[in-house]
Amino acid sequence: MKKIAMWGAACWAVLAVAGVASAGTLEDVKTNGILKCGVTTGNAGFSAPDEKGEWEGFDVDLCRAVAAAVLGDPTKVQFTPLSAKDRFPALQSGEIDILSRQTTWVLSREASLGFLFGAVTYYDGQGFLINSKKMPDVTSALGLSGATICLLAGTTTELNLADYFKANNLEYSPLVFEKIEEAKSAYDSGRCDVYSDDQSNLYSARLSLSAPAEHAVLPEIISKEPLGPVVRQGDDRWFNIVKWTHFAMVQAEEFGITQANVEEMKTSPNPEVKRLLGMEADAKLGTDLGLTEDWVVRIVKAVGNYGEVFDRNIGSGSPLKIARGLNGLWTDHGLQYAMPVR
């Protein structure tokens, strides 16, 4: 018992040191000249290396935006591919500065794990992918009783799945994998009948299957999956930078500020646009964040506004062609709503 108590005290000591170490993430990033970003092990549209080995995707661009705001250079990012199981220890230990890896905002991850979610960058929900050629009569998740279902370990997917099948008196057999690639491969080879994950992941997974046209995403959404970047608690300045980076990109879209016209928009007579772009007299919003006053200009020049990032990676300009839906601006009846930059 004494050894257990000593071990527990040591663990708490390590966590306390980690908390202290995280208190100056902005200064650490500036000193190191690099932002350490945790991403998936490979998920097309969100975070995956291209044919040249360069990371690209919706979540990748969030990290590039933060690097542009903090370091003035969107290329100053070190990407660390992480499984669902490894992502939280990597953030807790300080191996990464920010986790931008399709992670669901839930109470326990803030209350017990000591994290903070910067914002909801993508509103998602869990769904089901089936081979409609092998299961032609299944048009609803309610027809999946008895199915073997592939899913990822260490995610909210497991609990959501259990709750849904229990509530509907359905039976199923879970086949759990640590990595996305493993789950997709098992599903594609027929080891399981269904692949269940966030619906955005299902559209991405379908692209990599041997016969994509044979597979269909069922209409049911069985959960709320608000996804966004995650940071450690105890560092309010860093939390604010990550949070307001997202809001700045959303606000830029609302104002019609793009990569192509951001320099021109700096001369706009609109006081809100001038304030956002750091052109207001006696501007100090950037300074208050610990950045330069042109931090939003840097972001938009680097990756574009929220809509540009969405369309390029997962929307109409991408192979995924995911509709904006809930991720549209509030002015278009979506949920993306930036807090006022003032």
Q: What is the pLDDT of residue 154?
A: 81
The whole-number average pLDDT for the span 70-89 is 96
Q: Mean pLDDT over residues 301-312, rounded?
A: 98
- Please name the helix (run of DSSP H) or strand (run of DSSP E) that holds residue 85, with its range, or none: none
Which residues are CB-neighbours of 61 under 8 A, at least 6 positions away?
303, 309, 313
Residue 258 CA to residue 255 CA, distance in Å, equals 9
Crossing angle of helices 58-71 and 306-313, in 10° steps, is 140
Name residue 322's amino acid.
Answer: I
pTM assigned to the model: 0.87
Q: What is the pLDDT of residue 1?
A: 40
Which pLDDT belongs to residue 4?
40
Half-sphere exposure for 324 (CA within 13 Å, toward CB) = 19
Question: Could you tell me the two tokens for 185?
Answer: 């491969």
**pLDDT score of 96 more than 90:** yes
Tokens of 101: 């890896």
256/179: higher pLDDT? 256
Question: pLDDT higher for 5 or 147?
Answer: 147
Q: CA angle, corner 43, sides to 338 and 334, nearest 5?
A: 25
> How many percent of the chain have pLDDT more than 90?
86
Please state the rounded mean pLDDT for residues 243-271.
98
Residue 65 reports pLDDT greater than 90? yes
List pLDDT tens digits, range 150-192. 999 888 899 999 999 999 999 999 999 988 889 999 999 999 9
pLDDT at 7: 41
Confidence grade of residue 288 (pLDDT, cut at 50, 70, 90): very high
Average pLDDT, the chain: 92
- Residue 327 pLDDT greater than 90, yes or no: yes
Helix axes 236-255, 306-313, angle to 10 degrees: 80
CB 137 within 8 A of CB 143: yes
Read off the pLDDT of residues 17-38 as tens digits, 9 standing for 90 and up.
Answer: 344 344 599 999 999 999 999 9
What pLDDT is stored for residue 9 in this prediction? 35
